[in-house]
Amino acid sequence: MLSANLSAIFYLISGILFILALRGLSSPETSRQGNFFGILGMIIAITVTFLSIGNFSTGFVVVLIFLLIGGLIGAFIAYKIPMTAMPELVAGFHSLVGLAAVFVAIAAFLNPEAFNLGSPGNIKLGSLIEMSIGAAVGAITFSGSIIAFLKLQGIMSGSPITFKGQHPLNALILISIIVLTYLLCSTQSSNLFWILLAVSFLIGFLLIIPIGGADMPVVISMLNSYSGWAAAGIGFTLENTALIITGALVGSSGAILSYIMCKGMNRSFFNVILGGFGATEQSTGEKNKEQRPVKSGNADDAAFLMKNASSVIIVPGYGMAVAQAQHALREMVDTLKKNDIKVSYAIHPVAGRMPGHMNVLLAEANVPYDEVFELEEINNDFANADVAFVIGANDVTNPVAKTDPQSPIYGMPVLDVEKCKSVLFVKRSLSPGYAGIDNDLFYKENTLMLFADAKKMTEDITKNL
């Protein structure tokens, strides 16, 4: 049996390894090593836990069996999941962390002796508060992530669900959580504990349903953050340093990602949380219904334009992921490069359904990461480029964000695609994007619309090059 002090030091080491795991992600070269540190930290934490309990009887075997079942399922998912489905996968994983936190809190509440927290009905006050917070945040993470998962998977409609009195109801429930926590701590009643959990599950559900599909990058990051705070809450209950450090890391990581995503959309955090984005924009969408002329072309025209260009910038968006066009796109780019045309990729912070989603898809299609640029790095290059190839992106290229203060997306940082000599815009139809507004870029003099499925169009262009 490991002494408490020694195990505390090992938990600290695994916490530090987790910090190094995140640190490694500062560049792709060090990232694989970072992931290895993370795995090492986890192995240390689990081994130390077994050694500090020192119980290697039948219970140990049962624990190993459950560990193995989970591990096999996890490994199977990790190898099977297509890269386009990463947002759903991450949302699903968040819900599991949340539920695990809830289960650990329940176990600790029912059997506090095992955790040195006192006896049932007489749990130490501090531990009970920590436990309640961990359980409540875990429950919110769980039900919120389930909704996010269903919306991303398309099982549930991506459009925001709003109803009258939604905000007062949510506020009421949040207040009731605080009151319940207070009552639970003063009475130690297990009924109140179950009610607290039920109410927390409910609020997680209610908080996410009014948020629209386009705001999913914020929601996923936010739930990432919640899962961290839940882990930290449980870490305080268990007095475990590894868990406290990790919870804090994950919590602040998710918070920063949410901030970056909000900034990418020029919206405040509260604006996103309160939801109902799509609902308010309908009116502006209908106002501009008059038909404006667009120029449309075919793969042949597009190939001609690109062949005569000396530099091309590609702007991918979520539509590329939906059409699974990333491999076809890479082949087109290979052909362009053979003709000595300079090609780079421009990625908007909120392109896709989660932070960094486009980068992963391009990496999957063997696009070298040093050809892929972020908005600030590449925005000035559009003016010098010959062709911009917009594939599956829409709102993030809309010049209205710079010109029309009336527009709901006014002030959002956008890619200056219209500054290119010519713009090729692959899209199925003229329908507006997720923000529900018309894209001025469609009607510009130098824009050529290519109405087709992104993958098919890209393949056709390659043939014509």
Partner 1 sequence: MEIDPFIFRLSIFILSIFIGYYVVWSVTPSLHTPLMSVTNAISSVIIVGAIIAGLAGNSDTIFNTSSIFGFLAISLAAINIFGGFLVTQRMLAMYKKKKKDK
Helix or strand run (H / E) with residue 425: strand 422-427
Confirm or reject binding of residue 71 to partner 1 (CB under 8 A): yes
Nearer to partner 1, 133 or 449 (CB): 133
Per the annotation, the verdict on 395 as an active-site residue is yes
Nearer to partner 1, 173 or 363 (CB): 363
308 to 347: interface string for partner 1, x by CB under 8 A: -----------------------------x---------x
Confirm or reject binding of residue 63 to partner 1 (CB under 8 A): yes
Nearer to partner 1, 201 or 442 (CB): 201
Could you tell me the CA-to-CA distances from 113 to 1, 108, 118, 119, 147 in Å, in that order?
A: 18, 8, 6, 6, 35
Confirm or reject binding of residue 125 to partner 1 (CB under 8 A): no
Q: Token pair 């599909």 is at which residue?
A: 213
Nearest distance from residue 283's CB to partner 1, in Å?
34
Q: Token pair 């501090």 is at which residue?
A: 126
**CB within 8 A of 39, min separation 6: which ones?**
none
Nearer to partner 1, 35 or 280 (CB): 35
Nearest distance from residue 121's CB to partner 1, in Å?
14
Residue 197 bridge partners (DSSP): none
Q: Give the separation between CA 117 and CA 272, rounded to whole angstroms.
A: 39
- Binding span for partner 1 by CB under 8 A among 55-63, 297-305, 439-447, 450-458: 55-63
Nearest distance from residue 341's CB to partner 1, in Å?
13
Confirm or reject binding of residue 21 to partner 1 (CB under 8 A): yes
Q: Which of 300, 381, 386, 395 is catalytic?
A: 395
Q: Give the separation between CA 345 and CA 348, rounded to whole angstroms.
A: 10
Nearest distance from residue 9's CB to partner 1, in Å?
13
Confirm or reject binding of residue 234 to partner 1 (CB under 8 A): yes
Instruction: Please check whether residue 242 is in contact with residue 15, taking contact to mean a CB–CB distance below 8 angstroms.
Output: yes
Nearer to partner 1, 37 or 277 (CB): 37
Nearest distance from residue 234's CB to partner 1, in Å?
6
The dihedrals phi and psi of 362, each to the nearest 5 degrees, come to -65, -40
Q: Give the separation between CA 395 and CA 317, rounded to whole angstroms.
A: 10
Q: CA torsion 419→424→426→432, rounded to 10°?
A: 40
Instruction: Please check whether residue 332 is in contact with residue 345, taking contact to mean a CB–CB distance below 8 angstroms.
Output: no
245 to 274: interface string for partner 1, x by CB under 8 A: xxxxxxxxxx-xx--x--------------
- How are beta strands 422-427 and 447-451 bridged, if at all? parallel
